[in-house]
Structure 1
Amino acid sequence: MIEHHFRDVVADKLSTYMSTGNLDGGTMTIVLIVLSLVMALICFFVAHHVFVRFFNHILTKTNKPLAECVTNNRVFEKLSILTPLLVLNIFIPIVIGHYEILSSVVDRVLAILILLVILWMVYCFLDAVNDLATYKGITRRMPIKSFVQLIKLFTFFVGVIITISILANEAPVILFSGLGVATGFVMLVFKDTILGFVAGIQLSANRMVSLNDWIQMDSYGANGTVEEISLTTIKVRNFDNTITMLPAYALVQNAFINWQGMSESGGRRITRSVNIDVNSIRFVSDEEIAELTKLRLLRQYIFEKSKEIDEYNQGLEQDDVDANQRRLTNIGLFRAYLNAYLHANKDIHQYMLIMVRQLQPTPEGVPLQVYSFTNTTEWGKYEGIQSDLFDHIFAIMPQFGLRPFQQLTGHDFAAGQHSLPRDI
C-alpha cells in the first residue's frame, strides 16, 4: 500500500513535469531512466559507504562477537544492494508506464530481485546467528544449525510461493491455501528432513550428543568426534581421519556409545586380564615368603596375612594334616602385590575403583583381571599407561613362581622333538 501510494505521488509529479517540458516523450523516458539509474547508484554508494560502516561501527562498540559474526557474513552489505533495487522498483515502472507490457514485466522482475535479496539477507543473518551460537558454546548443548537449516527451508518455500504469486499476479494467500492438497507429497519428498528435524529435537532435549563428543556406532562404522550436527545428518571424524555421515534419526532409532561422560570424568577404565597357567599355581614355602618380603609393597600384607594364618593354625590339633592348615599361595600374593602396585602408581586414578580379581577359569588358564582407571582420558597417554602396567605384570610374574598361559606354537613342537631321546 505504501509503495503504491508513493508511486502515485511520483507519477503525478512526473506527468506534470513531462507535460510542461520541451522534450518529446521518448527522449524524456530515456532521460528519466538514466536519472533513475544514477539515483539508484548514488543510493547504493551512500548505503554501502555510510550506513553500513556506521552500523558495523556501532555493533563493534556494543557487542564485538555479534559484530564479527554480522561482518563476516556481510549482513548489512545486503542492505546496500537492496536500496538501489527499491529505488528502481519505485521509479522505473512509472517512467515506462505508457508501455504497459514492458512496465509489467520490469515491475515483476524487480519485485522478484528484491525478494531474492531479502531472502539472501535473511540467510546471512541466520548464518550469523549460527556463528554467534558456536562462539558462545550454545551449539554444544543444542543443535542450532538444525534449527537454522529448518528456518532456511521454510523461508525458501515462502519465497517460492511469493515468487509464483508475483509471476501469476495473484495473492499469496490463494497459493498458501492450496498447500494442504500437497501436504502428502511434501511429507513423502522431505521424509528424511522431517525425521531429521524430529530427531534433532530429541537429541537436543535429551542431550544425547553434542559437538566434539566422542561417539561410537559400529553399525555405521563410526568411531570418532562429532564435528557437525545438521538438520538431517551428523558428521563424525573417525580416529583414522575418515568421515562418516550419520542420519540424525539413526542416533535415535539405534544404539550408540557416547564416550563424553568418560572424557568429563577425568579417568578412563582399564579392564584387561592376564591368563595364568593353572599348573603354576601352588602354595609358597617359608623361604619364598621371606624372599617376597623384600618387596616393599608386599611387606604389610604378608605381615598381616601371616599373623592371621598363624592364629588360625594354632587352633588346630598338633597332629592335624597339612591340608587342614591355611597357607599363602603364589597367586594370592601376586594379586595382593598388583593391588598395592596400582594404589602406589601415580598414573592410576586413586579416587576411582581399583580392583584385581580372578575371573572364571577357562581352557586358557585363570584370568587375573586388572580393573582400574587412569588419571587421564587422552587416548595416547592411556594406552601408554596400560602398556607400562602390563609390561611390569608380565616381567614380575616369574618372581611369584607363576607362568602366563600361552598356546603351543610350531616352534614349541620343534623344540620338543629335538629334546626327545634318540631311542624313542
Structure 2
Amino acid sequence: MDVQELFCLVNDFLIAKEYDPTTAMYLNLIVNCIAVGIIAFVIDYVIRRVLIALAYRIAPKTKNNFDDFLIKNKLPQNVAHLIPVFFIEQISPFLFVDFPDFQRGFLTAIDIFLVILVIRVIRSILNSLRDFLKTLNAFKDKPIDSYIQVFMIFVWTVGIILSFSILTGKSIVAFVTTLGALSAVILLIFRDTILGFVASIQVAVNDMVRIGDWITMENYGADGDVIEINLATVKVQNFDKTITTIPTYALISDSFKNWRGMNDSGGRRIKRSIIIKTTSIHYLSDEEIESLKKIQLISDYLVQRQEDIEKYNGKRAVDKSLLINGRNMTNIGVFRKYVESYLETHPAINKEMTIMSRQLAQTPQGIPLEIYAFSQDKVWKNYEYIMGDIFDHLLAAVPFFYLEVYELEVGGS
C-alpha cells in the first residue's frame, strides 16, 4: 500500500458503506488532518525531548557557558518545532489531493509559519549571544542590546519581505522595489529607530557612555548609574532609585556629564569655600604670632617666615611703629597656609593630586577661601563624610586665627 492509498482508506470505507462521495471526501479530509496533527504533535514532543536532553548532557562538558544560554533562550525547543512543520509540508500533497485550492492556501500558510519559526531560532541564537557577551569583561559595559536589536530588526524585515513575497506570489526583487518607492514613509515610521541606531554606534565607537557609568543629564532629570543601553533608550537608575529613560539619540544631540573620569582617576575632587568676613582680616601682631606658634602644623612655618620678614625689614630699616610698613603676616595668609598643611597631612586626601588652598575674588559677603583637593575614597557616602570632617575642623579652626566666618544677619521682628 502506497502513501496515497493510505490517505484514501477512510474515503474508500465510507464509499463502500454507500455514503455520498462528497461527504465521504470531506470526512476523509477531516480524519486525515486529525491523524497528521497527532503525528506532528508526537514528532514535535519526541524531538523536543531528545534535543533538550542532548543539550543538557553536552552543556556541562563544554568550556564556556554559551550553550547554557542557548538552552535558557529555548533554542532546542524552537529547532524541534521545525521538524513537524517540514513533515506537514511534505505530506500536504497527499492530504489535499482532492482539494488543490486548499493545498495552495495551506502551503502558503505553512511557508509563512516556517519563516516565523526560523526567525525565532535566529532570535534565540542572538539573545544567547547577547547574554554570553555580557558575561565577558570586555563587553560588560558595551551597548550589546542595541546591536542585537539592530540585527533583529534586519531579520524581521527580511522575514516580512519573504512572507509578503510568499503571500502575493511576487518575487522578492519586485517587493523590494515597491518598498523603495515608499522609502520616505519608512524613514518617517522608523525615524527614532534609525536615530537610535546611529547614536548607539557613535556612543560605542567614541566610548561616550558605558553600562555602569554615572551620568548627569539635567534636561531629563537623570542623575545616576546607566543600567541599560538599547537601540531606542538609555535607562538611568537615579540615586533615589527611580528610573529615568532617555532617548539614545539624546546622548548625541544634548549635553550630559559622565563621571567616569572621576571614577577612573586617583580621587574625587573637593572644591568648596569658606567665606571669611572681610572686617576680621588684619596684620598679625608679635603677640598673635607667638600665640599661633603653638599650632603644631604651622609652628615651623611661622618661625621661618618671621625670620625672613625681620631680615627683610631690618636690611631696609623699615619703621615698624606701624604694622603696614614693610613686610608682614596676615591672619588670613597664615590660615591659608594652615589649611594647606592640614590637607597635606590628612590621611583621606590623595597626596599625588593637586592640593591647594586659594583665595578667590572678593564678594559682597566677604573673601571666599577655597579648598581644592581630592579624596582617595570616591564612594559618595564616604566622600561626603571626608569632606564634612575637613570642613568641621576648618570652621572650628577659624577663630584661632582671629578670623570670622560670614553669616547673613537676619533682623528680628
2:50 is aligned to 50
Distance in 2, matches of 1:187 and 1:18, equals 51
1:336 is aligned to 337
Distance in 2, matches of 1:367 and 1:279, equals 13
Residues 312-354 of structure 1: per-residue CA shift (max 9 Å, x gap) = 1221226576433222211111111111110111111111100
2:218 is aligned to 218
Q: Report matched runs for 1:112-131 at 5 Å.
A: 112-131=112-131
8 A contact 2:276–2:366 mirrored in 1: yes
Name the aligned partner's letter for residue 388 of structure 1.
D
Instruction: Report how many aligned residue pairs link the two structures.
Output: 401
Aligned partner of residue 372 in structure 1, secondary structure: strand
1:3 is aligned to none
Q: Report matched runs for 1:383-402 at 5 Å.
A: 383-402=384-403
8 A contact 2:276–2:403 mirrored in 1: yes
Q: Give yes or no for the alignment of 1:291 onto 2:291.
A: yes
Name the aligned partner's letter for residue 369 of structure 2.
L
Distance in 1, matches of 2:287 and 2:8, equals 127
Name the aligned partner's letter for residue 14 of structure 1.
V
Name the aligned partner's letter for residue 270 of structure 2.
I
1:126 deviation in Å?
Answer: 1.5
Q: Report matched runs for 1:19-418 at 5 Å.
A: 23=13, 26=25, 32-317=32-317, 322=322, 323-411=324-412
Distance in 2, matches of 1:257 and 1:237, equals 15
Name the aligned partner's letter for residue 383 of structure 2.
Y
Aligned partner of residue 236 in structure 2, secondary structure: strand
Residues 291-322 of structure 1: per-residue CA shift (max 9 Å, x gap) = 22221111221122122112212212265764
Name the aligned partner's letter for residue 363 of structure 1.
P
Q: Give yes or no for the alignment of 1:14 onto 2:3.
A: yes
Name the aligned partner's letter for residue 206 of structure 1.
N
368-377 vs 237-246, which moves further:
237-246
Distance in 2, matches of 1:13 and 1:161, equals 38
1:278 deviation in Å?
Answer: 1.0
Shift of the 286–89 alpha-carbon distance from structure 1 to 2, 3 Å rule, reads same
Shift of the 250–319 alpha-carbon distance from structure 1 to 2, 3 Å rule, reads closer
1:404 deviation in Å?
Answer: 0.6
Name the aligned partner's letter for residue 165 of structure 1.
S
Residues 267-286 of structure 1: per-residue CA shift (max 9 Å, x gap) = 11011011101111112222
Aligned partner of residue 215 in structure 1, secondary structure: strand
Aligned partner of residue 115 in structure 2, secondary structure: helix
8 A contact 1:93–1:106 mirrored in 2: no
1:140 deviation in Å?
Answer: 4.3
185-194 vs 113-122, which moves further:
113-122
157-166 vs 55-64, which moves further:
55-64
Structure 2 residues not aligned, in runs of 5+: 16-23
Distance in 1, matches of 2:305 and 2:320, equals 21
1:29 deviation in Å?
Answer: 5.4
Residues 151-197 of structure 1: per-residue CA shift (max 9 Å, x gap) = 11122122222222222233333212322111111111111111111
Distance in 1, matches of 2:155 and 2:131, equals 19
Distance in 1, matches of 2:67 and 2:117, equals 21
8 A contact 1:211–1:229 mirrored in 2: yes
1:4 is aligned to none
1:65 deviation in Å?
Answer: 2.0
Distance in 1, matches of 2:294 and 2:201, equals 62
8 A contact 1:376–1:382 mirrored in 2: yes
Structure 1 residues not aligned, in runs of 5+: 1-11, 415-424
TM-score, L = length of structure 2: 0.90
1:93 deviation in Å?
Answer: 3.7
1:34 deviation in Å?
Answer: 5.0
8 A contact 1:56–1:67 mirrored in 2: no
389-398 vs 45-54, which moves further:
45-54
TM-score, L = length of structure 1: 0.88
Name the aligned partner's letter for residue 364 of structure 2.
P
